[in-house]
Amino acid sequence: MPAEAKILIVDDEPPVCRSLASALSGRGYIVDTALNGEEALEKERENHYDVVVADLMMPGISGMDLLKIIKKERPEVMVIMVTGYPSIKTAVESIKLGAFDYLPKPFTPGDLRTLVSRALSRKRLHEEEEAEMVSGPTAVSIPEGTYVIPDNSWARMEEDGYVRVGIHHLLLRSFNKIESIEFPEVGEMRYQGEASIRITDDQGKIHRLWTPVSGRVIAVNARVADDIRLMEEPYEYGWIILISPTNLEGDLENLVLIGKK
């Protein structure tokens, strides 16, 4: 990660801006704040931030509008959307528009720090990917016909109507080692955009896998917790949960389809 990574916090509530900035200050970052989308754009164009953390719901230029403008002007910026539960669907849509990830309220300072750290790691990985494209094919490719929440999770429809869900290989590459995996219980309901599993890495940071489609958990692949080597093939043996979908057609519209069947 850059020694002096530049972070911009955008929220129309001054206390929230101060709180988020405080959570990141003193950790090798240069942290600025903006109280609206207009101010954020002015500062971004002047300072070229590595990561922008923006509230989804703001007056004037909304978080979604800000995302669209920033990604059009500088696609390499990592944008994290802060969202409340009622706007989870919009947050999932923001990923499709280029947001790196989203942070649902309520969250802890540790949640924010983990996500910013991962965003910076992803920025570095993107540079490595570009080098790989020049030198040769990447080690992992997503099978055609797979639906993804980019950089987070994947979903694949099975012949029996169930949906197999797993971890996007770029999420796996964003941390060094998995220490533990917290699975849902079989029979539990999971809804699109909510956390389906929680991964703790060897530094104690918690990473959340977003559920790509809503439905009831039919099975979990607990073998991956005992043999992390299965994650070397995340789209086959390293799958995480099997879901009986409840809103498949609508949910797939929010996901990105890789190739065509």
Shared domain for 11 and 125, answered yes or no, is yes
User: pLDDT for 141-189, tens place per residue?
Assistant: 899 999 999 889 999 999 999 999 999 998 888 877 888 899 999 999 9
Shared domain for 228 and 186, answered yes or no, is yes
What Cα–Cα distance (Å) separates residue 69 from each residue in 36, 96, 180?
14, 14, 38
What Cα–Cα distance (Å) separates residue 239 from each residue in 29, 39, 65, 100, 247?
35, 43, 34, 22, 21
Range of the domain at 192: 146-258
Shared domain for 166 and 230, answered yes or no, is yes
Shared domain for 69 and 24, answered yes or no, is yes
**Count of domains observed in the chain:** 2
Residue 205 φ/ψ, nearest 5 degrees: -85, 140
* Mean pLDDT, rounded, of the chain: 89
Model confidence pTM above 0.75: yes
Shared domain for 125 and 169, answered yes or no, is no
Shared domain for 122 and 43, answered yes or no, is yes
| Alpha-helix runs per DSSP H in the chain | 14-24, 37-47, 63-73, 88-96, 109-135, 169-172, 223-226, 248-252
Domain boundary among 132, 158, 186: 132
- State yes or no: pLDDT of 133 exceeds 50: no
* Residue-level pLDDT at 88: 74
